[in-house]
């Protein structure tokens, strides 16, 4: 029949890298290689929301203890699910927060969205509703 076809997105390798980074029982070499692969993927695919979710100093799931701690006492309410493997992720691997990188990723995403919107608007003007589906 041929080679099996797999969907390109979501990229489950990214979730595996996040798991290795946060897992306390992963080896240091595995954590470091997963961290490098995650950083490369974030930069290559311009993943600003994922970068913010993981590395932000205040709300990031992988931020270093004390880097962005809250002054409020811990809540007894159950926390919602996160991307991490455990409630207490490994803190020996650090995904650094770079505000300039984040702003660049957001700007690149906005440019791409504007280009898509422009293409869709042009298709609507030229050929109507049927051309929008191909754009």
pLDDT digits (tens, 9 = 90+) for 54-109: 999 888 888 755 454 444 444 544 555 566 655 566 667 788 999 999 999 999 99
Domain count, the chain: 2
| 8 Å CB contact between 90 and 30 | no
**What is the average pLDDT value for the chain, to the nearest integer?**
80
Tell me: do 128 and 90 sit in the same domain: no
Checking if the pLDDT of 44 tops 90, the result is yes
pLDDT for residue 135 is more than 60: no
93 and 104 in a single domain? The answer is no
**Average pLDDT, stretch 36-54?**
95
- What pLDDT is recorded for position 63? 74
Look at residue 133 in the predicted model and tell me its pLDDT.
Answer: 60
Residue-range definition of the domain harbouring residue 24: 7-69+81-97
Instruction: State pTM to two decimals.
Output: 0.72
Residue 74 forms part of a structural domain: no
- Please say whether the beta carbons of 74 and 132 come within 8 A: no
- 51 and 27: one domain? yes
Do 93 and 36 share a structural domain? yes
- Reference 88, options 33, 24, 133; nearest CA is 24
Give 118 or 91, the one with higher predicted confidence: 118
Pair (102, 85) in one structural domain = no
């Amino acid at each position: 029949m041929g080679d099996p076809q797999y969907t390109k997105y979501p990229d489950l390798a990214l979730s595996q890298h996040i798991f290795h980074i946060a897992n306390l029982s992963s080896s240091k070499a595995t954590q470091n290689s997963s961290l490098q692969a995650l950083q490369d993927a974030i930069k290559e695919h311009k993943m600003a929301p994922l970068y913010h979710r993981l590395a932000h100093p205040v709300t990031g799931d992988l931020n270093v203890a004390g880097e962005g701690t809250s002054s409020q006492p811990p809540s007894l309410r159950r926390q919602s699910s996160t991307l991490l493997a455990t409630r207490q992720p490994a803190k020996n691997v650090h995904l650094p927060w770079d505000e300039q990188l984040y702003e660049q990723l957001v700007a690149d995403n906005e440019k791409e969205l504007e280009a898509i919107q422009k293409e869709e608007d042009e298709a609507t003007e030229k050929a109507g509703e049927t051309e929008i589906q191909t754009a």
